[in-house]
Amino acid sequence: MNESSKSVSAQKRYAENVFAKMKAIVEQPGYPLLTNYKVDFYTYDRDQILREASPGARFLWVIRESGTHLQRIGVHNQSNEAAMAGIHAGKTSTKLGCELYLIEGGWLKKINEVQAIAAINRMEFTIDGGNVHDAKGQILASIDIEAYRKPMDANNYAKVDFQLNTNRSVSELKYAEVAALLTIAIDESISRCQSLFVRVQSVTIDGMDVSDAMDLAAERFVQCETALEPA
């Protein structure tokens, strides 16, 4: 097995550990929620966790009687608004309401609505004009979006390119940062086009496809982040 394969496996092991903790909650004997639309959890939530979970990535998880809602938070206002909508839908969907969990650092913490809103409003990234800032206010990257339409097509299309701060290289990005940039690319395209019907055709970071950047970040996950892997 080459080093890249090992690194991807390390991230997947971390993510599978997180998903196992989620699964333990909804599969408790007599658990009253998630009695319908289980595909929300076993397919969509699972896929997102396996793709994005790493130290530094925070998620709000809403469990309803009919389905779940999982959202990366603290990355972009568009995602934060979706998280708030998930809370509202969970509270009002049935008399049972919902349960809210903060997923952070490989652990799950049951929280109330006030705590959820505070977690949502804690931003790790902000967008100022054409720049993406990190939690310290430093410029991580500039963002360039090419938005366009196709004849006889109601959808909007976008190509997104990030140019990193000259003090950083793609190979130095953490897994959570690359995943956040992908979320920002999608959410910022939606905001710029003022439409939910946006198909992001490509995302690059200093010219590198985001999927390749995630593979590189996975190598750093092995070297720098597995010490934070939950037991």
Across the range 160-174, mean pLDDT stands at 94
CA dist 21 and 106 (Å) reads: 9
- 3-state SS, one letter per residue, for the chain: CCHHHHHHHHHHHHHHHHHHHHHHHHCCCCCCCCCECCHHHHHHHHHHHHHHCCCCCCEEEEEECECEEEEECCCCHHHHHHHHHHHHHHHHHCCCCEEEEEEECCEEEEECHHHHHHHHHCCCCEEECCEEECCCCCEEEEEEEEEEECCCCCCEEEEEEEEECCCCCHHHCCHHHHHHHHHHHHHHHHHHHCCCCEEEEEEEECCEEHHHHHHHHHHHHHHHHHHHCCC
- Range 69-76 average pLDDT: 97
Residue with tokens 């969907």: 93
What's the domain range around 207?
A: 126-228
Q: Is the pLDDT of residue 4 over 80?
A: no
Confidence bin at 224 (pLDDT 50/70/90): low
In this prediction the pTM is 0.89
Judge if 69 and 160 occupy the same domain: no
Do 174 and 215 lie in one domain? The reply is yes
pLDDT in tens, 137-149: 999 999 999 999 9
Specify the pLDDT at position 78.
94
Q: What is the pLDDT of residue 9?
A: 66
Q: Mean pLDDT score of the chain, rounded to an integer?
A: 91
What pLDDT does residue 43 have?
Answer: 98
Average pLDDT over residues 92-104: 95
pLDDT of residue 98: 97
Encoded tokens for 25: 């909650």
User: What pLDDT, on the 0 to 100 scale, is given for residue 156?
Assistant: 95
Residue 231 has pLDDT above 50, yes or no: no
- Give yes or no: residues 78 and 138 share one domain: no
d(CA 44, CA 50): 10
Whether residues 48 and 139 fall in one domain: no
pLDDT score at 222: 60
Give yes or no for residue 94 having a pLDDT over 60: yes
Do both 26 and 98 map to the same domain?
yes
Q: How many structural domains compose the chain?
A: 2
More confidently predicted of 178 and 216: 178
From CA 164, how far away is CA 121, in angstroms rounded? 25
Q: CA angle 106-108-112, nearest 5°?
A: 145
Domain check: are 64 and 113 in the same one?
yes
Check pLDDT > 90 for residue 160: yes
| Dihedral sign of CA atoms 197, 201, 206, 209 in order | positive
Same domain, 117 and 130: no
Which band of pLDDT confidence, cut at 50, 70 and 90, is reported for residue 164?
Answer: very high
- 24 and 91 share a domain? yes
Same domain for 70 and 168?
A: no
Q: Are residues 116 and 9 in the same domain?
A: yes
Q: Which of 82, 102, 121 is the last residue of a domain?
A: 121
- Is 109 in the same domain as 209? no
Check whether residue 10 and residue 114 sit in a common domain.
yes
Question: pLDDT exceeding 90 applies to what percent of the chain?
Answer: 78
